[in-house]
Amino acid sequence: DQWLVGHAGTDGQNVKMDLTNKVAFAYLCNGMKTGFKRLQNALYECLHENNLVKEIPIEKVGKNYETVKG
């Protein structure tokens, strides 16, 4: 089971904690940005390629769901 705990703030800011993989990350900006989920997916892709996480959580990007490895 994959758990992401976090909070989305105003202007696209976001913080997440992945309790399964013991990863925490934050995205801070000074205006409305929509790239957080793509950044999150890229982070997990890099961690997965280096065998630092077992699974990549599924995140919706726009109207599509990103494919995941697990």
For the stretch 15-28, pLDDT in tens is: 888 888 888 888 87
Using alpha carbons, select from 39, 35, 31 the residue that is nearest to residue 11: 31
CB atoms within 10 A of CB 62: 9
Q: Which domain holds residue 47?
A: 4-65
- Kindly state the tokens that stand for 43: 């982070």
Is the residue at 70 inside a domain? Answer: no
Is the residue at 30 inside a domain? Answer: yes
Number of separate domains in the chain: 1
Is the residue at 18 inside a domain? Answer: yes
* CB of 58 closer than 8 Å to CB of 36: no
pLDDT digits (tens, 9 = 90+) for 37-65: 788 888 888 888 888 887 777 665 555 54
Is the residue at 60 inside a domain? Answer: yes
Query: Three-class SS of residue 45?
Result: helix
Q: What pLDDT is recorded for position 67?
A: 47
Is the residue at 46 inside a domain? Answer: yes
Model pTM score: 0.51
| Length, in residues, of the chain | 70
* CB of 58 closer than 8 Å to CB of 66: yes
Q: What pLDDT is recorded for position 15?
A: 84
